[in-house]
Amino acid sequence: MSISLKKGQKVSLTKENTGLSKMLVGLGWDEAPQERHGFFSSKPKPIDCDASVIMLQNDKFVNKGDLVYYGNLQHKSGAIQHLGDNLTGAGEGDDEQIVVDLSKIPQEYNRIVIVVNIYSAVERKQHFGMIQNAFCRLVDGRNNKEMCKYNLTENYSGLTAMIFGEIYRRGSEWKFNAIGQGTTDVNLSELLKRYM
């Protein structure tokens, strides 16, 4: 049974799912309908949201190889694999997916932060207020059953990046924290500075 999470809610992943190793992180969103002003106004560019994973050692980002995104689809440990970039967010279900293998995460990593930013947000005058139905869900890789889902319901107008949530280690247990924090970081490099 899938747990529906609220902002700030934490849930154990491995306590209720004994033997959990591989899981899928699915992220999705839809573009909200936009008004066109005037007969000659151009059609707005599609909003290109990019999902990324930032792997932290003692809560710090220490190596550029610890960022898994559309330009680096797999972590060197093999623990994290990004399944590719969706340029428009069109269609049903997950728009981008990331596979996490908890058994392969080296001991020095304690936190895996899941973020989404809007590509060229400033140049295209786009923000998360133009996005609707955004969610993050975690699926057990053994049986494809959804363990938990976090739907973003707040208004994120003017914000260009989002810290969706984090998977973190507490002793031998792995947990998920639904963060849902919007930021004004204009690109992934700015977002990374929060963890340096």
H/E stretch holding 190 reads helix 188-193
Domain contains 72: yes
The pLDDT value given to residue 1: 75
The pLDDT value given to residue 41: 58
The highest-confidence range among 87-96, 106-115, 122-131, by mean pLDDT, is: 106-115
pLDDT band for position 40 (cuts 50, 70, 90): low
Query: How many residues does this entry show for the chain?
Result: 196
* Maximum alpha-carbon separation in the chain: 60
CA distance 184 to 143: 38
Domain contains 116: yes
Domain contains 39: no
Is the CB of residue 54 less than 8 Å from the CB of residue 192?
yes
pLDDT band for position 43 (cuts 50, 70, 90): low
Domain contains 18: yes
Domain contains 20: yes
Domain contains 38: no
pLDDT, tens digit, for every residue of 60-81? 999 999 999 999 999 999 999 9
Domain that holds residue 161: 3-33+46-193
The rounded mean pLDDT for the chain is 89
CATH number at residue 77: 2.60.60.30
Number of domains in the chain: 1
pTM for this model (two decimals): 0.90
